[in-house]
Amino acid sequence: MTRALVLGGGGVTGVAWEWGLLAGLAGRGVDVSDADLVVGTSAGSVVGAQLCSGTPVRESYEAQLRPPRAELPARLGAGVLLRWAWAGARGGDAVRARARVGAMALAARTPSEQSRRAVLAARLAGARWPARRLLVTAVDAASGEFVVFDADSGVSLLDAVGASCAVPGVWPPVTIGARRYVDGGVRSAVNADLAAGADAVLVLAPVTAGFGPMPRLSAQVAALRAAGTRVAVVSPDRSSRRAIGRNVLDPARRAGAARAGLAQATAVADQVAAVWA
């Protein structure tokens, strides 16, 4: 049986919530860190890279509880979200909509690529592409094409994760060769359809909403189930949403989000185990 773990985007609090949930599940005897395939989008690409590097889940969870000294302050405000929605609602197909978001990202004033890269390098601590299959999603900022990086892409894991985490209008697009890339969440907050073919799929989705022509998580999950795949989806419950707050890029919310994910695992452990076992 092949099992896939799909880790969605959700900012710095999404990273923390996912680690809390993974640690809580493991503490209840449902260890999903041995997935055959890991799909990471944005925040999920950070968690996926760390998980596949072999760092113990509990250790990664506890790291979320420490003061976030290395993080750059940022805000995913209403203005940025409105610009995303405007770009996606202007008609045309999904690729063109993503290209409009990419154009907005290329024109935005953001911190430098170097400063952002340093933050991600500290998170990954020299991690390299793992032997296990890891897929990291991004979008070409100029063309709007959806890109999936893996160990055979000829791209470093740090660059791939950096591209996947390049939130348009907040963080700078990441330069890889002659191209620049933005957040894989521009195509889908989760990209669960990349797990097609697995027998069992666990989706951790800090964010489930989309805009414009973005494929919806519900449709992706329905397609997986129609193909015979067992799927469990976990998104933040009320307590987790309260802990995460309105700004998913607020490092001060990181520890609370991690603790909320840990607590939520109690309620979903049986659901996950039924799919994963």
Residues with active-site annotation: 42, 183
List the beta bridge partners of residue 49: none
Give the contacts of 124 (CB within 8 A, at least 6 positions apart). Answer: 46, 49, 50, 53, 157, 158, 161
Q: Which residue, 93, 80, 103, 100, is CA-closest to 215? A: 93
Alpha-carbon distance 198 to 256, whole Å? 33
Q: Phi first, then psi: what are they for 167, rounded to 5°?
A: -60, 120
Alpha-carbon distance 206 to 55, whole Å? 22
Sign of CA dihedral 202, 50, 27, 13: negative
